[in-house]
Structure 1
Amino acid sequence: MVRFLRPLVRGTTYTRWLHLWVPMLFESVWLFIDMSKPWVPAVLLIPLGLIPAVRRGEGVQARYMLAWDSQDAAISVTPSVTWRDRLRTVLWLEARMVLGWVAGPLTVWLPAATVLLVGAAFGSGPIHTPVMTVTLPQWTCALLAPLPLLALYGSVVGLGELITAIARRLLGPSPIERLAAMEERTEQLLERNRIARELHDSIGHALTVAVVQAGAARAAGDPAFTDRALAAIEDTGRAALEDLERVLGVLREAERPASSRPTLTEADRLLESARSSGAKVDAEVRGPVETVPGPVSREGYRILQESLTNVLRHAGSVPVRVRIEVVDGTLGLEVRNPLTADIPGPGRGSGLRGIRERAALLGGRARTGPDQGDWQVHVELPLR
């Protein structure tokens, strides 16, 4: 019973009924002008529906009055772009008018029928209608009196659901709009993944360096070494704070350019940070790194950063060979270090996955894993 009466306490039940009544206001005005041609308003809706802006207005009305949700993506609020959208708008206006013709009389006749039946039940005489006069026993009228109200309740709920379903069908997004929404959603997901990778690579690198430096300083017991370790931790922490501020700036300002992110021309900072953490880094740079396009250079910097972070985290103070090469329209990055017992297996860890994702987004490829007694990260990124 509660479920049956639940629509009575929902606001959409009444806003939907009001939405059905709106076309009848124009119909009523026209009937005062010429009652012999009630079909004229329906004909006038055809050229009206062909106006692109009408679709937006109808969509806004439908969202607020039928769905009661301004963010209901099933109902579009954009103007008509194609003739298909215009024709769908015309069909929607005609369907709205037809259902309004049904809802209007029901709203008047059904309550009036209840009033007549209640009057007859209390002995006010036969029931007079514009069509005929009906004489029923009083007890029959008393039993029938609630039926028109139940019919009105069913009509209000049923026609409201019907007009909402028609709105989602005829005012719903076109294929072009659905494709645009899908592309926007994809862009948002890519941006979220990029920000997650930025935070993982930058903050993870800084924390790894800090942990390694602090552990080495405590084990060494040398004041001079401790001073150098603290200086390295300070530099790395300051760089991480800059990266964090940069990423947070992207979150705060959607249009903030990515050009302020570090590039491979600043790779020396990463190499010195790894060396100060105890790793013996042997770097080789070939080709004009400064000519590498911005997006490729920025992603290459993050790949190199994550590769060195993995070395410090899993291998510690070991010899590391870094090769950066720009040749034949390709940027090559390779980081190798001796295998240790604690190595990440192929495909494990968000860092290695992030390296492969960065390479794939730029149309490149990445290989990570054991190779001839070393752990290898080998990445090739096209420059075009």
Structure 2
Amino acid sequence: MSRLLAPLTRAVTYTRWLHLLVGAIIALVCGFVYPGFTRPGYGQWVLMLLIPVPLLMAAAVIPVVRRAEGLQARLMLFPGAHARVEGGSGSREAGVSVAPSASWRDRGRTAVWLVLRLWAGCAVAFVTGQLMALALELVDATSGGPAEAESLIPVPGHGWAYALLVPVPPLVLLGVVALAGRLMVSAALGLLGPTAAERLAALEERTEQLLERNRIARELHDSIGHALTVAVVQAGAARAAADPAFTDRALDAIEETGRAALEDLERVLLVLRESEQPASRRPTLTEADRLLDSARASGAEVDAEVLGALDTVPGPVSREGYRILQEALTNVLRHSGTVPIRVAVTVDDARLWLDVRNPLPTGAPVNGRGSGGGSGSGLRGIRERAALLGGRARTGPDEGQWRVHVELPLG
């Protein structure tokens, strides 16, 4: 019983009712002009349903009409988030499009929708009038007064027993309205729903958003993770050394690394806030010296070799290469400590090679997990960055050393 009465308490039932009745207005306007409302016959009622059809089909050719119908459907046919429905994969996607007609197929679907809305509105308006008239006749029969309303269902005689039947027509009317509203929702999803091109565009936009989120997550992981790792290693080394000069150098390294991390964080936050202010520039491989100096300041012995001109590397490749090198050095400091590190950067006409090696700690597992370079999101981020640029990355033990080898195309 509660499920049957639930539509009566929902506002969307009445907005759908209004939406249906509005669809019948054009038929009423045409009816005033021809054939008129002076006791029309059944044939004239049929004309009232057919005369507006050419006008509606002509209106459907105008692209903006589809947008107007979509907006009305969203606001009046759908509850809560309006035209939001559950997709097949559990995602939420737009159930009703608000884009103008972009093809003749869209115009045809809009025309069918307008005609369907006209006829459904007239049917609901007719049922509404008949059932309300019947309710008034039952009231008159209960009070013994003269019947002032005319319905297709006659009410014979008078009597107080008719009072028990007075609520029946309104309840039946609300049930009809609820059912008609559900049917119109299904029709709206089919006729005003997004086209294949609109769904593809929405999917591409969603994919771009996910890629941007993943990129931002990698940026924060690499930048903040590197800064915190350097700070922890520097602080521990300074405490162990108990040397004022070393402590000063350690504090300088922590300050420089922290400042760079704050710049990266500010840039990412500007992107997330969609600020109109330009975000700060992302570092490139031409600034790799500060990564190497930071690792050296942490106590690690870094032997770096650069072959080729880093300033000729394209911007996207250079920026991702910087982050890959940053993550590789961070992994060494985090998992192996201040061990000797061998860094080789090679640039030719077609490719960029990054190679980072460090000794595995004594007793480290063969697979290197948790020792030489970790196996979590950092290494996965390195592989993802390389794959997005059309390159490849190999990470793992290699002849007693932990090796990160990345190859990126420059084209």
1:348 to 371, 375, 382: 375
Tell me if 1:236 matches 2:257: yes
C-alpha separation between the residues in 1 aligned to 2:337 and 2:255?
20
Where do residues 72-221 of structure 1 align in structure 2 (5 Å cutoff)?
72=84, 73-124=94-145, 129=150, 135=156, 138=159, 141-221=162-242
Where do 5+ consecutive residues of structure 2 fail to align? 36-43, 85-93
Aligned counterpart, 2:313 = 292
Could you tell me the TM-score, scaled by structure 2's length? 0.88
Distance 1:58 1:125, change over 3 A: closer
The residue identity in structure 2 corresponding to 1:379 is V
1:318 to 312, 323, 339: 339
The residue identity in structure 1 corresponding to 2:184 is I
Structure 1 SS opposite 2:24: helix
C-alpha separation between the residues in 1 aligned to 2:242 and 2:154?
111
Q: CA offset at residue 315 of structure 1?
A: 0.6
Q: CA offset at residue 25 of structure 1?
A: 1.8
Contact 2:234 2:298 (8 Å CA) reproduced: yes
C-alpha separation between the residues in 2 aligned to 1:33 and 1:171?
31
C-alpha separation between the residues in 1 aligned to 2:374 and 2:258?
29
Aligned counterpart, 1:374 = 401
Contact 2:138 2:155 (8 Å CA) reproduced: no
C-alpha separation between the residues in 2 aligned to 1:23 and 1:237?
64
Distance 1:172 1:71, change over 3 A: closer
C-alpha separation between the residues in 1 aligned to 2:147 and 2:246?
109
Aligned counterpart, 1:56 = 67
1:275-317 superposed Cα distances (whole Å, 9 cap, x missing partner): 1111111111111211111001000000000000000001111
Distance 1:252 1:289, change over 3 A: same
Q: CA offset at residue 28 of structure 1?
A: 1.3
Q: CA offset at residue 157 of structure 1?
A: 0.8
Distance 1:347 1:52, change over 3 A: farther
Q: CA offset at residue 13 of structure 1?
A: 1.1
Instruction: Please state which structure has a larger fraction of its residues in helix.
Output: 1
1:95-119 superposed Cα distances (whole Å, 9 cap, x missing partner): 1011101110111110111221232
1:180-200 superposed Cα distances (whole Å, 9 cap, x missing partner): 000000000000000010000
Q: CA offset at residue 46 of structure 1?
A: 0.8
Structure 2 SS opposite 1:285: strand
Structure 2 SS opposite 1:173: coil
Q: CA offset at residue 213 of structure 1?
A: 0.5
C-alpha separation between the residues in 1 aligned to 2:150 and 2:339?
100
Aligned counterpart, 1:7 = 7
Distance 1:128 1:159, change over 3 A: closer
Contact 1:13 1:160 (8 Å CA) reproduced: yes
1:116-147 superposed Cα distances (whole Å, 9 cap, x missing partner): 12322444478984668553674764454333
2:354 to 333, 336, 341: 333
Let me know the Cα RMSD of the aligned residues: 2.3
C-alpha separation between the residues in 2 aligned to 1:257 and 1:362?
25
Distance 1:52 1:127, change over 3 A: closer
Aligned counterpart, 1:41 = 52
Contact 2:263 2:280 (8 Å CA) reproduced: no
Contact 1:126 1:136 (8 Å CA) reproduced: no
| Count of residues paired in the alignment | 384
Q: CA offset at residue 51 of structure 1?
A: 1.3
Where do 5+ consecutive residues of structure 1 fail to align? none
